[in-house]
Structure 1
Amino acid sequence: MAVRRLVATLTLCAVGATDSCGTAAGWELLDANRTALVVIDAQQNFLDKLPLAQRASLVERIAFVMKVAKAMELPILATAEDYAEGGSNPPMHPSLSALLPAGTRVWNKLVWNLYGQPDIRAAVDAVAAARGVDTFILVGLETDVCVAQSALGLKSAGYRVVVVEDAVATPPPHHAAGMLRMRDAGVTLTNAKGVYYELVRDVPTVARVAREIGGAPVVGEDAAPIEGCASDYTL
């Protein structure tokens, strides 16, 4: 019987259907106590490659997820590609860096897969160990390169990875290919609204978070807030 249970557990682990292997299964609701946010390369030079109509709304979506993460006290890590002195790129977008918790370091990322850079890998693992984190939410740029490679790198290390599909982007037509690559690798795909409701879970928390993030943000000139089952305090 013990052997049968072991075989069953290993089988379920292999398909991501259980957390018996130490990380949350892909279908489980997000648990704020076990989750961290990673903001990847949200820099103006990458934003400038996107269609003009997409840029502001993407920044607002990323900002929204960051605000919710802060309100729910999730650890936040941030990277910017090759931005340090002498680097070729600008720093993190100022409206987003302003949302980082005080003292948060923006890691100077020189690889596509953030988990492949030793100092960033150490920071990720330190957050996981200190806070009991086994799940990382990813937002930022670019979907098919740094986001996808970082997602696969984190997943290979045993973490559950959740990518917010409307808070990541890449120049067309490559977004869909990046999303498919991650989905096929077992990465959980969701949207900003889904992340919000999975983290807050109940009406009292919705009300508290809405107060802390300043109400219901609106994305795009003609966009209205997305209404949810409990309130309209989401994008």
Structure 2
Amino acid sequence: MPLIDRDDCALVIIDVQEDFYPPHRLDVDRQRFHEMVGRIVWITSVADRLGIPVVVTEEDPDGSGHTVREIRDALPAGAVTLPKNAFAVWDNPDIAAAIEATGRTTLVLAGIETDICVAHSAIQLHHAGKRVAVVEDAAYSPGRAHERGLRRLSDRGIETLSTKELFYDWVRTIEAADTFHDTHRDLTVPAGVRL
């Protein structure tokens, strides 16, 4: 597979919602979840500055709330946020239409849950002929479900990569990386991502 081409790429953020994991869910590693949110905020901000379209989904927003504030605050002006009823984004006609409207054929996925909505979305998009890459450290499921989800994707031939790898695919050269950092000093690289 070639590197991810930012000019043929859209970012899809799946179901990172305020009340998706209520406080009584003891199996949720809140620190790991918080780190995932920070990576998605940064990826979203980078996508905004590089002109990469962003589509956001919210599963049952009446029950699970809306996208977390930090991500909402980072969304580009042209980002689309849509409710999701089927687990796979591609199985929701309005979301599929929004993805098609970007004109991009490579979809970078981040969000929750790795083993269900992210996996279903990746598999269905892949089956529809799209190139799909899941940002493994910007996706989350509680406990071992995250690793099971990544293993399922790998078994289906779907790419996974890290936040760091995605950034370097998008910028490609030392000069472009340095210029990006110099131009966008307001963007703080999230903890655990070494550039």
CA shift for structure 1 position 37: 0.5
Q: Are the equivalent residues in 1 in contact too, given 2:108–2:132 (CA < 8 A)?
A: yes
Higher relative contact order (CA 8 A, sep 6+): 2
Q: 1:179 aligns with which of 129, 132, 150?
A: 150
CA shift for structure 1 position 53: 2.0
CA shift for structure 1 position 44: 2.2
Structure of greater Rg: 1
**Could you say which residue in structure 2 is the equivalent of 1:74?**
52
Inter-partner Cα distance in structure 1 for 2:68 and 2:132: 24
Q: Does 1:167 align with 2:145?
A: no
Superimposed CA distance per residue, residues 91-150 of structure 1 (whole angstroms, 9 cap, x where no aligned partner): 00011011111142210111100100111111111212xxxx210000000000100000
What is the letter of the counterpart of residue 147 of structure 1? V
Equivalent pairs counted in the alignment come to: 190
Mark the CA change 1:205 to 1:120 in structure 2 (over 3 Å): closer, same or farther.
same
Superimposed CA distance per residue, residues 2-59 of structure 1 (whole angstroms, 9 cap, x where no aligned partner): xxxxxxxxxxxxxxxxxxxxxxxxx210111111100100112235552122122111
Q: Structure 1 stretch 39-48 or stretch 87-96: which is displaced more?
A: 39-48
For the aligned residue pairs, the C-alpha RMSD in angstroms reads 1.6
Mark the CA change 1:47 to 1:192 in structure 2 (over 3 Å): closer, same or farther.
farther
TM-score (norm 1): 0.76
Mark the CA change 1:213 to 1:77 in structure 2 (over 3 Å): closer, same or farther.
farther
Q: Does 1:38 align with 2:12?
A: yes
Inter-partner Cα distance in structure 2 for 1:218 and 1:61: 6
Q: 2:160 aligns with which of 165, 168, 189?
A: 189
Identity %: 32
What is the letter of the counterpart of residue 56 of structure 1? H
Which residues in structure 2 correspond to 1:63-212 (within 5 Å)?
Answer: 63-83=41-61, 87-128=62-103, 133-210=104-181, 211-212=183-184
Q: 1:214 aligns with which of 179, 182, 186?
A: 186
TM-score (norm 2): 0.91
Q: Which SS does the other structure have where 1:151 is aligned? A: helix
